[in-house]
């Protein structure tokens, strides 16, 4: 029965977080119904397990308290509403780590960490994955032989291809000084508004510039989803490194 409940939780969590990431990347919005479904499912499954004596009440309280605390911190730090709601919903759906074993393989691979707070491991894994992202940009630029101090922060795109890109910011403000175009790095980036894109296209038509530096802006829910899968199947990164 425990394995069945773990499978149900993994299926529900995978589908909902996968959809939420897709929706946030495409539209920058995630419907509240998504989190309502996840939360209700979590409450129902936890209630059944509590009734059967398969889940300790303290484990549920511990998970919800930690999930609520970090959801509040994300809210204070101006993270997206989807990130905040995901933390609360996951703390309800996964009061403990999933318990799965098949064909001599037990998940998570690195065993359940001492604290056994799944939502915390999902968050810390997601944060570590987000911190590693600059390395992927560095190696991508290295592969393209684009050498710059900005190699860890973004990459170059030819102007005719710029409109096809999604979820990015421009890294430079362009200033015209006579016949020259000077680039000034802007901390935090510049939103690619229609006005900005039209000006860049005009500069491209006049052969004054042909490419710009952009920095990708993936919603944090994508990293939380990656943290979810790594925590469920591999385990807690920090525990694996230090314990």
3-state secondary structure (DSSP) of residue 102: strand
pLDDT at residue 69 above 90? yes
**Residue 177 in this model has a pLDDT that exceeds 80:** no
Element (H, E) at 84: helix 81-93
Report the mean per-residue pLDDT for the chain. Answer: 90
Torsion angle, alpha carbons of 40, 44, 46, 51, to 10: 160
Q: What is the pLDDT of residues 98-116, one digit of tens each?
A: 887 766 677 888 888 888 9
Write down the pLDDT at residue 1: 62
CA 217 to chain CA centroid, Å, is: 10
Task: For the chain, list the domains and their CATH numbers.
Answer: 2-131+220-242 (1.20.120), 134-216 (no CATH)
Model pLDDT, residue 102: 63
Which residues 6+ apart lie within 8 Å of 42 measured at CB? 9, 89, 90, 91, 92, 93, 94, 95
Tokens of 172: 């430079």
Give the max Cα distance, the chain: 77
Query: What is the rounded distance in angstroms from the CA atom of residue 192 to the CA atom of residue 214?
Result: 10
- pLDDT tens digits for 194-222? 888 988 888 888 778 888 999 988 899 99
The packing angle between helices 118-144 and 57-76, to 10°, is 40
Give the position of tokens 């491209």.
Answer: 204
CB burial of residue 19 (10 Å; 0-12, 13-18, 19+): middle
Closest CA to 221 of 79, 65, 72: 79
**Radius of gyration (Cα) for the chain, nearest Å?**
22
Residues above pLDDT 70, as percent of the chain:
98
Residue 19: pLDDT over 90? yes
Evaluated on CA atoms 145, 149, 155, 156, the torsion sign reads negative
């Amino acid at each position: 029965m425990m394995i069945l409940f773990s499978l149900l939780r993994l299926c529900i969590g995978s589908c909902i977080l996968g959809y939420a990431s897709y929706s946030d990347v495409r539209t920058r919005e995630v419907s509240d119904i998504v989190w309502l479904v996840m939360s209700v499912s979590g409450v129902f499954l936890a209630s059944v397990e509590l009734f059967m004596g398969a889940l300790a009440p303290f484990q549920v309280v511990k998970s919800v308290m930690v999930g609520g605390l970090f959801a509040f911190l994300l809210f204070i730090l101006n993270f997206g509403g989807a990130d905040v709601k995901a933390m609360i919903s996951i703390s309800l759906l996964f009061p403990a780590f999933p318990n799965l074993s098949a064909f001599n393989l037990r998940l998570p691979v690195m065993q359940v960490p001492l604290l056994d707070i799944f939502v915390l491991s999902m968050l810390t894994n997601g944060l570590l994955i987000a911190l590693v992202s600059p390395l992927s940009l560095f190696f991508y630029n290295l592969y393209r032989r684009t050498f710059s101090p900005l190699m860890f922060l973004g990459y170059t795109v030819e102007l005719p291809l710029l409109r096809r890109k999604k979820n990015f910011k421009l890294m430079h403000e362009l200033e015209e000084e006579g016949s020259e175009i000077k680039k000034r790095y802007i901390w935090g980036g510049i939103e690619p508004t229609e006005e900005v894109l039209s000006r860049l296209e005009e500069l491209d038509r006049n052969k004054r510039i042909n490419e710009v530096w952009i920095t990708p802006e993936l919603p944090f829910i994508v990293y939380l989803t990656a943290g979810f899968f790594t925590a469920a199947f591999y385990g807690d990164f920090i525990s694996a490194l230090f314990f």
